[in-house]
């Protein structure tokens, strides 16, 4: 997870990055992926593609499966995502990275 944070923050300002899901709850099995939420100030399709590429190479290099949700700050402050069930779960059980 340190490599993911370091790689993403080397290119983009990260407001928040959290591990959530079964790994965060401690009930993961050997096939579980790593669910990570990344919050950035501004998001475009190109930024999302860049972060997806970063994650892809980390997945290959470390033989893991990181699944990311990328949110723009305004989505979480003023948009409908602020009330979404997945975001509420991430806030409740997410572990800051």
Q: How does pLDDT run across 54-94, given as a tens digit for each residue?
A: 999 999 999 999 999 999 999 888 888 888 999 999 999 99
Cα–Cα dist 88/47, whole Å: 24
Q: How does pLDDT run across 84-94, given as a tens digit for each residue?
A: 999 999 999 99
Query: How would you classify residue 67: left for phi > 0, otherwise alpha for psi between -120 and 50, otherwise beta?
Result: beta
Query: How many CB atoms are located within 10 Å of the residue 68 CB?
Result: 17
CB 12 within 8 A of CB 48: no
Model pLDDT, residue 96: 96
Tokens 């290959």 locate to: 60
**What are the residue boundaries of the structural domains of the chain, listed by start?**
2-96
CATH number given to 2-96: 3.30.460.10
Evaluate if residue 1 carries a pLDDT over 90.
no
Tokens 């975001």 locate to: 87
Q: How does pLDDT run across 25-54, given as a tens digit for each residue?
A: 999 998 899 999 999 999 999 999 999 999
């Amino acid at each position: 997870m340190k490599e993911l944070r370091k790689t993403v923050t080397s290119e983009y300002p990260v407001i928040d990055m959290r591990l959530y899901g079964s790994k965060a709850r401690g009930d993961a099995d050997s096939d579980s992926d790593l669910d990570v939420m990344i919050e950035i100030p501004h998001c475009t399709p190109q930024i999302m593609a860049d972060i997806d590429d970063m994650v892809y190479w980390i997945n290959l290099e470390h033989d893991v499966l990181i699944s990311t949700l990328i949110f723009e700050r305004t989505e979480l402050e003023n948009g409908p995502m602020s009330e979404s069930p997945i975001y509420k779960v991430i806030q409740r059980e997410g572990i800051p990275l």
